[in-house]
Amino acid sequence: MTIKQIRAFLAVAQSLSFAVACERLHLSQSALSLTIKALEEGLGGRLFSRNTRNVALTPEGESLLPLARRLIADWDNAEDEMRQRFSLQRGRVTLAAMPSFAGNLLPPILKTFRARYPNVNVTVNDVINEQVLEMVRDRQVELGVAFEPMQNTSLTFTPLYRDRFVAVVPQDSPLAARSDIDWQTLLQEPFITLQRPSTVRVMLEEHLQARGMKLPVEFESHQLATVGRMVASGLGVSAVPALCAGQMRELGAHCLTLHEPVVERAIGVLTDPGNELSAAAQALFDILKAEH
């Protein structure tokens, strides 16, 4: 059965008149008759009993009628839903982002997205940098926001901007009176950082080792919020991506420009080149690029 045949069957079955059905479908009498004949031949029997005066459904035609109505309703609903998805009147997009981005820069981006596409739902997975790559690679999400991968990957990385690490010190520390600080001075204080295998931790260690320096780690945590609280409590100092500076200040710590060496890395969007983005994901991708 084809959709054209089912629509023709319904038009005749509901009106019990080939002439009325022809007008409704904008078909000639011969075209409609051929369509019904092809449907009957395909199913193996007559659906209508006809004479010069009347058209009536056969028992098989009566059985097909509710099925045909349901099929056409499902078809029309599916067609309407897909049109709405392509026009972004409905839909869903899934995103994975490292917590430092998800908790600081992502909310205003999502606000812009919601203002433009109020009926598209967004699912955000705030996971560590390594899991962002895994979720994009495993197609659990369409988009990922993370640091540029340090190793070759099959994923496509679209840079948004370069993030520079800043120093985080207690507000009542003498260091807080400064406008900037070098690594040598910062590392004289007890250091608080994220636990391995955090990309932030690995990046810091690699940059410093290349210059003969080492992190004097005394406290470590899985969460940046905990690191910020520890610094604010006077347990030591830390270094975090600049995108976390606002979060650190909210937690009661103070941020300084950090140099010698400058530690920075690109942050961008990860996508799977073998997985075409949905219309909703492409729209969010475009906003992510435009906002930076």
Per-residue confidence (pLDDT) for residue 226, from 0 to 100: 92
d(CA 48, CA 57): 4
On the CB side of 208, how many CA atoms lie within 13 Å of its CA? 19
Q: Is the pTM of this model over 0.75?
A: no
- C-beta separation of 222 from 153 below 8 A: no
Angle at 209 between CA 204 and CA 214, to 5 degrees: 75
What the block records as the tokens of 111 is 């606000």
Residue for token pair 């203002």: 115
d(CA 125, CA 123): 7
Burial class (CB in 10 A: 0-12, 13-18, 19+), 124: middle
Burial class (CB in 10 A: 0-12, 13-18, 19+), 12: buried
Backbone angles phi, psi at 147, to 5 degrees: -70, 155
d(CA 90, CA 83): 9
- pLDDT tens string, the chain, 292 residues long: the values are 899 999 999 999 989 998 899 998 999 989 999 999 999 999 999 999 987 778 999 999 999 999 999 998 888 878 877 877 776 777 889 999 988 888 888 999 999 999 999 988 899 999 888 889 999 999 999 999 999 987 778 899 999 999 999 999 999 999 999 989 999 999 999 999 988 877 788 888 888 888 888 888 899 988 888 999 999 999 999 999 898 888 899 999 999 999 888 888 899 999 999 888 888 899 999 999 998 7
Q: Give the helix/strand (H/E) hosting 174.
A: none
